[in-house]
Amino acid sequence: MTSPTATPLGIGFVGCGRVAELHQAAIAVSDALRLVAIHDTQADLLATRAAAWDTRAHASLDALLADPAVEAVLVLTPHATHLEVARRVIEAGRHVFIEKPVSEDADAIDAVAAMARSAGLVAMPGHNYAYGPEFVRLHGLVQRGDLGDVRALFVTYIIRHEESVVAGLSGILGEVMVHHAYLTAALLGAPDRVHAGRAEPAWVHHDQEDQAWMTWEYPGGRSAHLFASFAMEDMSAAPWTFLVRALGTRGTAEMNWRSAWFERPLGTLAYALPAYEESYGRELAHFASAIRLGVPPVSSLEDAALVARLLAAAQVAADDRRAVERLEDGRRRW
- pLDDT range class, residue 2, cuts 50, 70, 90: very low
The correct answer on CATH 3.30.930.10 for the domain covering 9-126 is no
pLDDT at 1: 44
Residue 179, burial from CB neighbour count under 10 angstroms (0-12, 13-18, 19+):
buried
> Could you tell me if 274 and 168 are in contact, meaning their C-beta atoms sit under 8 angstroms apart?
no
> Could you tell me if 124 and 287 are in contact, meaning their C-beta atoms sit under 8 angstroms apart?
yes
What mean pLDDT, rounded, does the chain reach?
94
pLDDT digits (tens, 9 = 90+) for 162-218: 999 888 888 999 999 999 999 999 999 999 999 999 999 999 999 999 999 999 999
Q: Is 38 helix (H, G, I), strand (E, B) or coil?
A: strand
Nearest Cα neighbor of 30 from 71, 69, 72, 1 is 1
Average pLDDT over residues 122-146: 96
All CATH 3.30.360.10 domain ranges of the chain, comma separated, are 130-259+308-325
Q: Which CATH superfamily is domain 130-259+308-325 in?
A: Dihydrodipicolinate Reductase; domain 2 (3.30.360.10)
Calpha distance 157→243 (Å, rounded): 7
- Supply the DSSP symbol for 269: B
What is the percentage of the chain residues whose pLDDT exceeds 90? 89
pLDDT digits (tens, 9 = 90+) for 278-310: 999 999 999 999 999 999 998 999 999 999 999
> Could you tell me if 27 and 34 are in contact, meaning their C-beta atoms sit under 8 angstroms apart?
yes
Nearest Cα neighbor of 12 from 32, 35, 28 is 35
The yes-or-no verdict on residue 153 having pLDDT over 60 is yes
- pLDDT range class, residue 130, cuts 50, 70, 90: very high
Average pLDDT over residues 16-23: 95
pLDDT digits (tens, 9 = 90+) for 63-114: 999 999 999 999 999 999 999 999 999 999 999 999 999 999 999 999 999 9
Contacts 24+ apart (CB under 8 A), 140-146: 141/246, 141/251, 141/253, 142/187, 142/188, 142/246, 142/248, 142/253, 146/250, 146/251
pTM of the model: 0.91
Average pLDDT over residues 134-152: 97
All CATH 3.40.50.720 domain ranges of the chain, comma separated, are 9-126
The yes-or-no verdict on residue 333 having pLDDT over 90 is no
The yes-or-no verdict on residue 5 having pLDDT over 90 is no
